[in-house]
Chains A and B, each alone.
Chain A
């Protein structure tokens, strides 16, 4: 009798400990509110380039996380990326003309969407689209732009001959990609977001 009781107590303790550990793992190490918080409204925004943005990245305003990205997909009509985000319905007074931009947390951190409030007195509602957007900054583009401006001002011959070639090589994939997409779209719609520098 004593033996069975010890066994039962030990088993109970073990099972309890196991479930406590599981509970700890699922509540303390994950962001559970992203799954529970269903009281949210969705807003979409189009970006020319989403960079490293991923689903479930945060949407923040003044540095406070107010929502998460639900999904990112390619919009075949506008030929750019459509980002759908869930915003906590607690924050239902975001002006309609707010500006959404893709930012990077730290040098190596993940990317997120930062909202900057506009001045309109109409608020964003479920299913609305944010019109003013700013794409992710692609580091390679910045570098190639910088190298180009260096190259045109450059004084040394060797610098001039080397650097533009390098930057051309790094831009090649984009230039190859761009005509493809434009061809498909030509009959459908005039592409809006081709600000590609020359």
Chain B
């Protein structure tokens, strides 16, 4: 019994400590961001690695998510005799929820793991200590550009996901299921608001981008410098990012609705 209690206490303390450390780390990243922007070459490289290289998975996933939305939307709405509303249905759910959230989850799997294992391996092979020896701050040189690259990539990836998803929904609903082409768009346009829906979705994806990139570089930077430690850091990146993204999603939605 006593063991259990002390175990729980230890876990809780460890959790709090990790949480606080990650917040301090984020603060440090944000403070170093303006100076890192003076070296755009490094950031461009990271935008390429995290963003451009994730395009294929994002676009294929978006296409299929949109197509499923088209099928399910037409199937469900036809029970109420209003198949035309599938445009509104797909548009709102993609722009407000699925676009940012699914993109963030895929981003954690595709780019977050790459960041974490890359930095973790640098830690394990003493490259980060080597940099410190040469009086190069590894956070400034390695971590911050990766963080900024992720933050820039996420909203763009989410927009691509949403646009491709809408295209998929359009293809299925209009071409396969026979919903009227004009109705699809004309039902969507009056119901989707630029500020409340599109801007809100973009804001969400930006927040998720900050969270996912920060967690990935944090886990990588603090990885235990062994092969096993790097593996653990990679796993934790995906797990923690997924949970944090879903919790943040609920909180943002609750506050902005």
Q: Which A residues have a C-beta under 8 Å from some C-beta of B? A: 7-8, 10-11, 13-15, 17-22, 24-26, 28-32, 35, 56, 58, 108, 110
Contacts A22-B202, A25-B162, A29-B198 given: A13-B52 contact, CB under 8 Å? Answer: yes
Q: Cβ of A25 and Cβ of B47 under 8 Å apart?
A: no
Residues in A whose Cβ lies below 8 Å from that of B163: 20-21, 24-25
Majority SS of interface residues in chain B?
A: helix
Which 5 pairs, one residue from A and one from B, show the smallest C-beta to C-beta distance?
A18-B156, A14-B52, A21-B163, A21-B159, A22-B159
Residues in B whose Cβ lies below 8 Å from that of A31: 189-190, 192
Q: In B45-83, which residues have CB < 8 Å from any A CB?
A: 45, 47-48, 51-53, 55, 80, 82
B109 at the interface (CB under 8 A from A): no
Closest approach, in angstroms, between the C-beta of A58 and any C-beta of chain B? 7
Give bound CA distance, A3 to B48, whole Å.
12
Cross-interface CB contact of A14 among B45, B48, B193, B198, cutoff 8 Å: B48
Q: In B166-217, which residues have CB < 8 Å from any A CB?
A: 166, 185, 188-190, 192-195, 197-198, 202
B116 at the interface (CB under 8 A from A): no
Q: Cβ of A30 and Cβ of B44 under 8 Å apart?
A: no
Q: Cβ of A18 and Cβ of B198 under 8 Å apart?
A: no
Look across to chain B and name the residue whose beta carbon is closest to the beta carbon of A32: B194
Closest approach, in angstroms, between the C-beta of A22 and any C-beta of chain B? 4
B160 at the interface (CB under 8 A from A): yes
Q: Cβ of A8 and Cβ of B44 under 8 Å apart?
A: yes
Look across to chain B and name the residue whose beta carbon is closest to the beta carbon of A17: B160
* Residue contacts A-B, CB under 8 angstroms, 5 given: A7-B44, A13-B52, A25-B163, A31-B189, A35-B194
Majority SS of interface residues in chain A?
A: helix
Residues in A whose Cβ lies below 8 Å from that of B45: 7, 11
Known: A20-B163, A28-B185, A29-B188; 16 extra A-B contacts, CB below 8 A, are A8-B44, A13-B52, A14-B48, A14-B51, A14-B55, A15-B47, A18-B159, A22-B202, A25-B166, A26-B198, A30-B192, A31-B189, A35-B195, A58-B190, A108-B82, A110-B190
Cross-interface CB contact of A30 among B152, B166, B189, cutoff 8 Å: B189
Q: Cβ of B44 and Cβ of A26 under 8 Å apart?
A: no
Annotate B226-237 by CB proximity to A: 1 below 8 A, 0 otherwise: 000000000000
Residues in B whose Cβ lies below 8 Å from that of A110: 190
Annotate B32-48 by CB proximity to A: 1 below 8 A, 0 otherwise: 00000000000011011
Q: Cβ of A56 and Cβ of B193 under 8 Å apart?
A: yes
Give bound CA distance, A121 to B83, whole Å.
44
Look across to chain A and name the residue whose beta carbon is closest to the beta carbon of B156: A18
Cross-interface CB contact of B159 among A8, A25, A28, A30, cutoff 8 Å: A25
Give bound CA distance, A62 to B205, whole Å.
41
Residues in B whose Cβ lies below 8 Å from that of A58: 190
Give bound CA distance, A108 to B81, whole Å.
10
Look across to chain A and name the residue whose beta carbon is closest to the beta carbon of B157: A18
Residues in A whose Cβ lies below 8 Å from that of B192: 29-31
Residues in A whose Cβ lies below 8 Å from that of B160: 17-18, 21
Give bound CA distance, A14 to B80, whole Å.
41
Look across to chain A and name the residue whose beta carbon is closest to the beta carbon of B186: A31
B155 at the interface (CB under 8 A from A): yes
B112 at the interface (CB under 8 A from A): no
Closest approach, in angstroms, between the C-beta of A24 and any C-beta of chain B? 5
Annotate B11-28 by CB proximity to A: 1 below 8 A, 0 otherwise: 000000000000000000
Give bound CA distance, A35 to B80, whole Å.
32
Identify the interface centre among B55, B157, B163: most chain A CB within 10 Å of its CB.
B163
Residues in B whose Cβ lies below 8 Å from that of A28: 185, 189
Give bound CA distance, A7 to B197, whole Å.
33
Look across to chain B and name the residue whose beta carbon is closest to the beta carbon of A27: B194
Give bound CA distance, A22 to B95, whole Å.
10
Closest approach, in angstroms, between the C-beta of B188 and any C-beta of chain A? 6
